[in-house]
Structure 1
Amino acid sequence: MAVVALASVACGAGESAASPAPAASAPVQETPQSRAPVAATPTPSKTAPPTFDAKVTKVSRDRLPHSWRPGCPVHYRDLRLITLTYWGFDNKPHTGELVVRNTVTDDIVTVFRKLYDWRWPIKQMKLVDAYKADDFASIDVDNTSAFNCRKATGSSNWSNHAYGAAIDINPRENPYITASGSTAHQNAKKFTERPMKGKGVVNPGDKVVKAFAAVGWEWGGYWSGAKDYQHFSKGGG
Structure 2
Amino acid sequence: MKRAAAIAFVVLASVSCGATEPVASSAPTTPGSPAPSPAPSSVPPSTATTPASPRTPSPTRTGPPAFSAKVTKISRDRLPYSWRPGCPVPYQDLRLVTMTYWGFDDKPHTGELVVRDTVTDDVVTVFRKLYDWRWPIRQMKLVDAYKADDYASIDADNTSAFNCRRATGSSSWSKHSYGQAIDLNPLENPYVTADGGTAHKNAKKYASRPMSGKGVINAGDKVVKAFANVGWEWGGYWSGTKDYQHFSKGGG
Equivalent residue number for residue 54 of structure 1: 69
Give the secondary structure class of the aligned counterpart of 2:111.
strand
Matched, 1:142 2:166: no
Matched, 1:179 2:191: no
Give the share of equivalent positions with the same residue, in percent: 81
5+ residue gaps, structure 2, are 1-58
Structure 1 stretches (4+) deviating beyond 4 angstroms? none
Q: Distance in 2 between matches of 1:144 and 1:101?
A: 16
Q: Distance in 2 between matches of 1:145 and 1:161?
A: 9
Q: CA deviation at 1:185?
A: 0.3
1:140-194 alpha-carbon deviations (Å, 9 max, x no partner): 0000000000000000000000000000000000000011110010000000010
Matched, 1:235 2:230: no
Root-mean-square deviation (CA), in Å?
1.2
Q: CA deviation at 1:132?
A: 0.1
1:108 maps to which of 123, 126, 132:
123
Matched, 1:197 2:209: no
Structure with greater helix share of residues: 2
Q: Distance in 1 between matches of 2:104 and 2:60?
A: 24
What one-letter code is carried by the residue in structure 2 that aligns with 1:214? N
**Where do residues 64-79 of structure 1 align in structure 2 (5 Å cutoff)?**
64-79=79-94
Q: Distance in 1 between matches of 2:219 and 2:68?
A: 28
Q: CA deviation at 1:80?
A: 0.1
Q: Distance in 2 between matches of 1:70 and 1:225?
A: 34
Q: Distance in 2 between matches of 1:165 and 1:141?
A: 21
Q: CA deviation at 1:47?
A: 2.3
Q: Distance in 2 between matches of 1:102 and 1:150?
A: 19
What one-letter code is carried by the residue in structure 1 that aligns with 2:73? K
Equivalent residue number for residue 10 of structure 1: none
Equivalent residue number for residue 141 of structure 2: 126
**Where do residues 135-174 of structure 1 align in structure 2 (5 Å cutoff)?**
135-174=150-189
Q: CA deviation at 1:228?
A: 0.1
Total equivalences in the alignment: 195
Q: CA deviation at 1:45?
A: 6.4
Instruction: Give the TM-score normalised by structure 2.
Output: 0.76
Q: Distance in 1 between matches of 2:91 and 2:64?
A: 34
Matched, 1:217 2:217: no
Q: Distance in 1 between matches of 2:185 and 2:61?
A: 29
Equivalent residue number for residue 97 of structure 2: 82
Give the secondary structure class of the aligned counterpart of 1:81.
strand
Q: Distance in 2 between matches of 1:205 and 1:93?
A: 26
Q: CA deviation at 1:46?
A: 5.8
Structure with larger Rg? 2
Instruction: Give the TM-score normalised by structure 1.
Output: 0.81
Give the secondary structure class of the aligned counterpart of 1:133.
coil
Equivalent residue number for residue 207 of structure 1: 222
